[in-house]
A and B are shown apart, each in its own frame.
Chain A
Amino acid sequence: MHLKIGLDPRAKLFLFVVWFSSVFFCKSVYSLMLILASSTLILSLISSPASVLSRLRNFVPIVLLAFPLWTFLNKWSLFHASKGFDLSLGLFMTIRLLSIVIISIAFLISVRPTEIVRALNSLRVPPVVTAVLALALRTLYIIAEDYRSIKEAHASRGLELDRGSLIRRIRSHTPLLLPLMIRSIDSAEKMVLALELRPTLLTSRRSSPLRARDLLISLGCLSLIALLLYCDRILVSSV
C-alpha cells in the first residue's frame, strides 16, 4: 500500500528542483542526512519497498565506489583540494550522492515523463523544446523495442548474444547494429511526418492556475528547505 501523490506536475517539478538544489547548497553532513532521511521517507511512501530496493540495487556499486574514492583520493579531485585521507569528506559525498539518487528516483516514480513535458509547456517553455523532449522520450522506447525484436529474431537464427567473454558478446552484437540503425533512422524520419500530422503536441495548451493545496505544499516545503539551509549555514560557521 503506497501513497498516491495528487500534486500538480508543476508543483512536483518545482519541489524536485528545490530539493535537488538543496543537496548542493548544504555544507554540513547533518543537514545532508536530514535531506537524505526526508527523501527516503517520501520515496518509501510513494513506492513499494521491493520496487525501491530493486531500483536502488543498480546504484550500489557507484555508491560503494564513491566512499573510498572521496575518502582516499580527494587530493586529486578537481573540486576539493584537501590533503590525503578525509573520512568526513568521503561520508559527506556518499550521502550527497545517495540523496541525489533517491530524490531523482522519487521524482521519476511520482511524475510521468509526459507530465514533465506538460509542466514545462505550461511554464511557457517553447512548445518546440518540450515537443523535442517528448519525442526523445518516445524514441528511446521505440529504439528499445526495435533492439529487443531484432535481438529476438537473431537469437532465433542461432546468434548467441549473452554468452562467452565480453569481447565475444560485443562482437556478437555487431549484426544487430545495421538493422537497428536502419530502423532508427527510418523511424525518426517517419515520426517527424507523424508529428506534423498530429500537431497538438506542438501547440501550447492553456494552463490552469495552480490549486491552493499545490501552492501551500510547495510554499511549505520551500520554507522548510530555507530553514534547513539557514541552520546549515549556522552549523558550518559555528564549527
Chain B
Amino acid sequence: MRALEVVDLSCRYRNSSWILKDISFYVRAGESLAIVGPSGSGKTTLAHCISGIIPNRIPAEFRGSIRVDGEDLSSSPIRERISSVGVVLQDYELQIFGLTVEEDLEISLREGGDIEWILEFFGLEKYRDYYTHELSGGLKHRLVVASMMLSDPKYIVMDDPLANLDWNGRRIIAKTVDLLKREGKGVVLLTRKLRGLEDVIDRVIYLGQSNRNPLRGLRIPRMCNGNYEGPVIEFNRVYFKYNKERDYVLKDITLSVRKGEIFAIMGPNGSGKTTLMKHINGLLKPSRGSVIVKGIDTRSVSPASMSKFVGMVFQNPERYFVSETVWDEAAFGARNLGLGEERVEEALRMMGLLDRKEDSPSSLSMGEKIRLYAASVLAMDPEIIVFDEPTTGQDEETLEQMREVIGRLSDSGKTIVIVTHDSDFAVSVADRLAILKDGTIYAEGDPLKLLRDDRLVEEAGIEPLSMRGEVNAS
C-alpha cells in the first residue's frame, strides 16, 4: 500500500510513563488525517517519532514500526526519512533559515522551480523582501509551511499547525492540505482543534481525549451594563511604523477603553494587534498622534514607569521566568517597583497558587504558568491588565483557566484588554470588541453583534463563532 503507516507505536522518555501506547494509523497518498488531542497527549512525541528525531536525537524507549510505502523506516536515520516525510515542527520559527522571506523559500527550492506561485498562494507577496524576524508569528508559520511544500516530500506531518494562525491562515492551511492531497501527498495534522479544516480532513483520530462534556465550564457572557467610569486608555489619531522604509503598521487609530471594562482586540495576522497593545504601556511610542493612559502621555515615560498602571501578560510566559520559586517569581515585579510583598500572597491566593509557592515555576502546567505570570502582574497592583493572545496554542482546559483568571481580575475592578484570534473566547469574556484590519479600526462595538455579522467577519478575515460560541453567547 502507498501509505505512511504507524504500527503499534509506543514511546516513553527515560524515567517516565508511556507517552504513546500501541498507536496505529495510516494515511494513504492523496489523503489527510487529523490526530486531535489536548496539550500533553503526545502529539509532538508522535511527530518526533515519525521524523526520526526519536530515537536518533532524543533518547527514548521506542517500540513499533513506521513504514513509508511499505518500507520500514523505524531504524533509519533522519536524513533518509526526510525525502519521504517532511515535518513542520511545533517550534516552527527554528525551521526558518533564510534571513528574508524570499531567501528562506529559495533554500527549499528545487532546480528549475520558482517561488512566485507559492508567495501568492500563501499571501506572502508583500512580505517577500521582509526580514524573517520582522514577521508576526502567524506569518512565520505560513512561511515554514510554504517552504515545506516547496521541498516536496511524499508525506507531510504538521505539528500543531493552527496554533498561531488567524482565520485566514487556517483557510490557507485548508487550501494547502487540499492542494497537497490533489498532488498525491499524504498529510497528517497533529492538532488541538480542527476548526476551519473540517472540509479537507478525511479521517480523524483522537489522542488521549477524555469524555469531557464539551460545554463544561463555559461562562455566561458578561453583559455591558453601561456604568463605566471615564476612559483610562485613549488613542488619539495614532500612526506608527517600525522604520522609515516600511509602511505604517497603525494608521489613524482612535479608540478609548473605559475603566472596569473588558476590551478585546481581534484581527488577522499582521493587522497590528500586538503593535497596538505595546503602545498601551509605552513599549512602543506613536510616530504620530498620542496615547494617553490614566492621563499620562506614554511618550513622556518609560515602560517600567508605566508598569505601575499597566500590567502586561505576554504569550508563553515561561520564557520570561527568572526565579527559582513561585513566590519569588510572583514578587519579581513588586520588588522592581519597590512595593511590599504583602500583595504577593494575595495575588497568589487569587490565582490559586499559594499552596505551590515553594515550587519551581518550571514544574507548573501551562495554565498554572499563565496564572503565575498574571499573579506577578497583579502583585504590582496595576489598574489596567493587558493579555497578549492568551488563547494561542491553548487547549480547552487552559482556556477555561484563562476565563477564570480574567473573570477574577475584572471582579476586582481591573480594566482588561485582551488581544486574541479566538472569537468564542472574545464573546465569552469581553464587553466590547475592536476589529483591526491593515492597521486601522475596521469595526468596534458589542462583541456578539459584530461576530454574528457574517459579512463583517468574512471581510475582516477573523474566525467566525462556532456552534459552541453561539450556544454560550445565547
Where the two chains meet, the residues of A that have a C-beta atom closer than 8 Å to any C-beta of B are: 112-114, 134-135, 137-138, 141-142, 144-146, 149-150, 152-163, 175, 178-179, 183, 187, 190-201, 206
Contact A196 B78 (CB under 8 A): yes
Contact B131 A141 (CB under 8 A): yes
Which of B87, B133, B278, B303 is close to A141, meaning CB atoms less than 8 Å apart? B133
Asked if B14 CB lies within 8 Å of chain A CBs, one says no
Q: List 11 A-B contacts (CB under 8 A).
A: A114-B98, A141-B131, A150-B319, A183-B319, A192-B57, A193-B53, A197-B86, A197-B95, A198-B95, A198-B97, A198-B107
Asked if B79 CB lies within 8 Å of chain A CBs, one says yes
Contact A156 B86 (CB under 8 A): no
Contact B304 A179 (CB under 8 A): no
User: Would you list the 8 A-B pairs with minimal beta carbon distance, nearest first?
Assistant: A158-B336, A157-B333, A156-B312, A153-B320, A155-B303, A158-B337, A160-B304, A158-B307
B373 CB, min distance to chain A CBs, angstroms: 9
B291-302 to A contact mask, C-beta < 8 Å, 1/0: 000000000001
Which of B98, B151, B278, B332 is close to A152, meaning CB atoms less than 8 Å apart? B278
A189 CB, min distance to chain B CBs, angstroms: 9
Asked if B255 CB lies within 8 Å of chain A CBs, one says no
Asked if B84 CB lies within 8 Å of chain A CBs, one says no
Given contacts A114-B100, A157-B332, 18 further A-B contacts (CB under 8 A): A137-B99, A152-B314, A154-B320, A156-B312, A157-B377, A163-B302, A175-B322, A179-B319, A179-B320, A190-B91, A191-B94, A194-B94, A196-B57, A197-B51, A197-B86, A197-B87, A198-B82, A200-B107
Chain A residues positioned under 8 Å from B308 (CB to CB):
158
Interface hub of A146, A158, A159 (most chain B Cβ within 10 A): A158
Q: A150-B319, A157-B307 are contacts. A200–B94 as well, Cβ < 8 Å?
A: no
Kindly report which residue of chain B lies nearest to residue A188, judged by CB atoms: B94
Interface residues of B in 368-383 (CB under 8 A from A): 376-377, 380
Contact A156 B322 (CB under 8 A): no
Chain B residues positioned under 8 Å from A192 (CB to CB):
57
Contact B333 A155 (CB under 8 A): no
Contact A179 B321 (CB under 8 A): yes
A223 CB, min distance to chain B CBs, angstroms: 33
Contact B307 A156 (CB under 8 A): yes
Contact B151 A198 (CB under 8 A): yes
Docked Cα-Cα span, A161 to B319, in Å, equals: 18
Docked Cα-Cα span, A162 to B303, in Å, equals: 10
Chain A residues positioned under 8 Å from B96 (CB to CB):
138
Contact B314 A158 (CB under 8 A): no
Chain A residues positioned under 8 Å from B93 (CB to CB):
142
Kindly report which residue of chain B lies nearest to residue A192, judged by CB atoms: B57
Docked Cα-Cα span, A134 to B93, in Å, equals: 15
Q: A155-B302, A156-B311 are contacts. A197–B322 as well, Cβ < 8 Å?
A: no
Docked Cα-Cα span, A146 to B307, in Å, equals: 21
A31 CB, min distance to chain B CBs, angstroms: 36
Docked Cα-Cα span, A179 to B311, in Å, equals: 20
Chain A residues positioned under 8 Å from B310 (CB to CB):
156
A183 CB, min distance to chain B CBs, angstroms: 6
Q: A154-B320, A156-B312 are contacts. A187–B97 as well, Cβ < 8 Å?
A: no
Asked if B147 CB lies within 8 Å of chain A CBs, one says yes
Kindly report which residue of chain B lies nearest to residue A158, judged by CB atoms: B336
Kindly report which residue of chain A lies nearest to residue B376, judged by CB atoms: A157
Which of A112, A183, A195 is close to B97, meaning CB atoms less than 8 Å apart? A195
Docked Cα-Cα span, A137 to B132, in Å, equals: 12
Which of A113, A144, A146, A150 is close to B99, meaning CB atoms less than 8 Å apart? A113
A145 CB, min distance to chain B CBs, angstroms: 5
Contact A158 B320 (CB under 8 A): no
Docked Cα-Cα span, A159 to B320, in Å, equals: 13
B321-358 to A contact mask, C-beta < 8 Å, 1/0: 11000000000111011000000000000000000000
Chain A residues positioned under 8 Å from B305 (CB to CB):
160
Which of A113, A134, A158 is close to B333, meaning CB atoms less than 8 Å apart? A158
Contact A135 B314 (CB under 8 A): no
Contact B312 A153 (CB under 8 A): yes
B99 CB, min distance to chain A CBs, angstroms: 5
Chain B residues positioned under 8 Å from A113 (CB to CB):
99
Contact A194 B89 (CB under 8 A): yes
B208-225 to A contact mask, C-beta < 8 Å, 1/0: 000000000000000000
Asked if B401 CB lies within 8 Å of chain A CBs, one says no
Kindly report which residue of chain A lies nearest to residue B83, judged by CB atoms: A199
Chain B residues positioned under 8 Å from A179 (CB to CB):
319-322
Chain B residues positioned under 8 Å from A154 (CB to CB):
320, 322
A162 CB, min distance to chain B CBs, angstroms: 7
A137 CB, min distance to chain B CBs, angstroms: 7
Asked if B136 CB lies within 8 Å of chain A CBs, one says no
Docked Cα-Cα span, A114 to B333, in Å, equals: 41
Contact B303 A152 (CB under 8 A): yes
Chain A residues positioned under 8 Å from B132 (CB to CB):
141
Docked Cα-Cα span, A146 to B131, in Å, equals: 16
Interface hub of B96, B100, B311, B322 (most chain A Cβ within 10 A): B322
Contact A134 B57 (CB under 8 A): no
Which of A134, A144, A149, A200 is close to B108, meaning CB atoms less than 8 Å apart? A200
Chain A residues positioned under 8 Å from B106 (CB to CB):
114
Chain B residues positioned under 8 Å from A142 (CB to CB):
93-94, 133
Contact A158 B131 (CB under 8 A): no
Docked Cα-Cα span, A163 to B302, in Å, equals: 9
Contact A155 B304 (CB under 8 A): yes
Asked if B411 CB lies within 8 Å of chain A CBs, one says no
Chain A residues positioned under 8 Å from B302 (CB to CB):
155, 160, 162-163
Contact A112 B133 (CB under 8 A): no
Docked Cα-Cα span, A239 to B311, in Å, equals: 71
Kindly report which residue of chain A lies nearest to residue B244, judged by CB atoms: A50
Chain B residues positioned under 8 Å from A183 (CB to CB):
319
Asked if B74 CB lies within 8 Å of chain A CBs, one says no
A8 CB, min distance to chain B CBs, angstroms: 15
Kindly report which residue of chain A lies nearest to residue B110, judged by CB atoms: A200
Chain A residues positioned under 8 Å from B97 (CB to CB):
134-135, 138, 194-195, 198, 201
Chain A residues positioned under 8 Å from B100 (CB to CB):
112, 114
B401 CB, min distance to chain A CBs, angstroms: 20
Asked if B111 CB lies within 8 Å of chain A CBs, one says yes
Chain B residues positioned under 8 Å from A201 (CB to CB):
97, 107
Docked Cα-Cα span, A112 to B96, in Å, equals: 16
